[in-house]
Structure 1
């Protein structure tokens, strides 16, 4: 599983923490939902090429 660069979104973390500290659970939940969707959209969940099981396939 490959992952695109998603760690640079620290502003999302700061906004979420600020909202939690402000005791705004509905807003925090919405921010978390958007943050998780951003993370999921950055994932590459495709499988790579299958590994050859036979030596002949490996040498192609």
Structure 2
């Protein structure tokens, strides 16, 4: 996997083999992206996977 798209305020569980990690993404006004390996350093397969966080419709009115 090279990337994953998530929505602001979404909670996602990532699985790699028998490992599992859950992350709740904060509300983002402009949208952003981050390396999943930074969020989940204990999951080796997370390194190099980009997470694209959609901007929040709650705060942008859309």
Of Structure 1 and Structure 2, the greater helix share is in: 1
Fold equivalence (TM over 0.5)? no
Of Structure 1 and Structure 2, the greater strand share is in: 2
Which structure has the larger Rg over C-alpha atoms?
A: 1
Tell which has more relative contact order, 1 or 2 (C-alpha 8 A, sep 6+).
1
TM-score, normalised via structure 2 length: 0.28
